[in-house]
Homo-oligomer: A and B are copies of this chain.
Amino acid sequence: MDVEEVIGEVLAKIRPSEEERAFVEGLMKELEETAMETIESLGLDVKPYFVGSLAKDTYLAGDHDVDLFLAFPLDVPLERLREEGLKLGEAIGERLDTYEIAYAEHPYVRARYRGVKVDLVPCYDVRDWRDVKTAVDRSILHTKWVNENLNGRNDDVRLFKRFLKGIKAYGSEIYVRGFSGYLAEILVIKYGSFLDVVEKADFILRQKVVDPENWLKKEPELAMKTVKRETGEGKPLVVIDPVDPRRNVSANLGWEKYGRFYFKSMAFLKGPSLEFFFPQEKPVRSYLSELKKRRTVLVTLVFDVPDMVDDLLFPQLEKSARGFEKALSREGFNVLGWNVGKSEKAFIMLELDRSERERVKLKPGPEFFTKRGRDFYEKNTKVWLIGKRLYSEKRVKESVVEVILELLENNQVALGKGIREAVKGADILLNYVPKELEKEAYLFLSREKWNLKD
């Protein structure tokens, strides 16, 4: 198949049908009316806005969650916006099928209506970036900017988003570090089409700064500050937000995910196929044979997930895994890799070189001709010199499970703050994982989880 054919087939699958469009439009109209009526009945001065991919007509077939923003005038104090916004959301929610209260920077209402998820989010009715007060306020501006600039390239955005999902580089959540939908839209708008973006994977990275609204000219000081801050932090890309010169749209994009986009783009252009957009499930083999083949050891810590959102949990799991990596390598184990995640429980997997280490550990002491040297000599039963330094040995625990327990007990592992106690109470499994983690263990040990050439 050539590129055009592939694109044609993909579009047939991801472009919403007329029926779906009609359903979505009807749904939005109903929701708008319900919102307007509720606002009026509560006597509020609030405007409802649709934002997100539905409002921009860049949603993928079957994926039509609604984002309805409830915009308050700028002069409403934040405290009142939180209060009345939530009350209004709940009042609208009452008229839908079900709803619950969710928490981000502010509480908002997450409802369901006719099988669709509907987020009702209070915000300020901002005109431009100078008005922005809360994290969600820009969404209205984003929607407006995309609609003004997309010029009918909606299907290119759909293709690009599906491509990013297929290659596992979609999603700007902190534990994904991939491309957001808005970033995908900006790149299509800036570079022309899905194919243009894919062909420019190398160019975009080298160019480093993407500035579709020319902020570097219009607001050079602010925009330069953004560029400097973000490159200083080693971000792969700085995409100055078309609606706000202070913000890097790709602030959460990691090198790993840009790398996936980079190599998968090359591979796609070389050998186009549907596989990039709709990858087949990888065959999962036995993690135990993988261990045998590699002659390594798998240690898995499994523990109850503390009550926190993934955005908070994952960085803490990662931090803890790095903590184990460091502590265990200080203890003489070689950590070949680690993997964290959450299924029923949270887990940290560590691949090690061995499960038992030698029983003795060299204990370097001070220079011999000092007070500390003479003390070291007195305190140890065997001491010897290498150069002017004294050495001795100590007996240490041999099994990695014992070593981990000891490290945890003595607080010698840097753990994520919010999960410290949970990790300390973890089950420590050696070369064995519960049924539901078998696939994860295989993908990790075989490195297929991250393999760029899968």
A interface residues with partner B (beta carbon < 8 Å):
202, 205-206, 236, 254-256, 259-260, 262-263, 266, 293-296, 332, 334, 336-337, 353-354, 356-360, 362, 368-369, 374, 377, 380-388, 390, 393, 398, 447-448, 450-453
Contacts and interface: CB of A to CB of B under 8 A. Distances in A.
B336 A447 contact: no
Contact of A377 (B202, B254, B263): B263
A93 B393 CA distance: 53
Contacts of A398: 295
Contacts of A202: 369
Most buried by B among A337, A358, A393: A358
A452 B385 contact: yes
Contacts of A262: 368-369
Contact of A385 (B259, B295, B358, B390): B259
Nearest to A386: B256
Contacts of A358: 294-296, 334, 336, 353-354
> Which of A259, A359, A377: most chain B CB closer than 10 A?
A259
A232 to B, nearest CB: 15
A238 to B, nearest CB: 15
Contact of A387 (B255, B296, B448): B255
A295 B236 contact: no
Rank and list the top 8 A-B pairs by shortest CB-CB distance, nearest first.
Answer: A384-B450, A255-B388, A259-B385, A295-B359, A256-B385, A353-B358, A296-B358, A259-B368
Contacts of A336: 358, 360, 362
Contacts of A205: 369
A384 B339 CA distance: 13
Of A369, A381, A448, most B-chain CB atoms within 10 Å: A369
Contacts of A388: 236, 255, 259
Given A202-B369, A263-B377, A384-B447, 9 more contacts: A205-B369, A236-B388, A255-B388, A259-B385, A263-B368, A295-B356, A336-B358, A383-B453, A393-B447
Nearest to A389: B255
A359 B290 CA distance: 11
A253 to B, nearest CB: 12
Nearest to A356: B295
A160 B353 CA distance: 52
A388 B263 CA distance: 13
A382 B447 contact: yes
Contacts of A260: 385
Contacts of A390: 259
A263 B369 CA distance: 9
Contacts of A385: 255-256, 259-260, 450, 452
A60 to B, nearest CB: 26
Contacts of A386: 256
25 contacts: A202-B369, A255-B368, A255-B385, A255-B388, A256-B384, A256-B387, A259-B390, A294-B358, A295-B360, A296-B359, A332-B353, A336-B360, A336-B362, A353-B358, A377-B453, A380-B453, A382-B451, A382-B453, A383-B452, A383-B453, A384-B451, A384-B452, A385-B450, A385-B452, A393-B447
A386 B321 CA distance: 14
Nearest to A335: B362
Contacts of A450: 384-385
A383 B368 CA distance: 49
A364 to B, nearest CB: 12
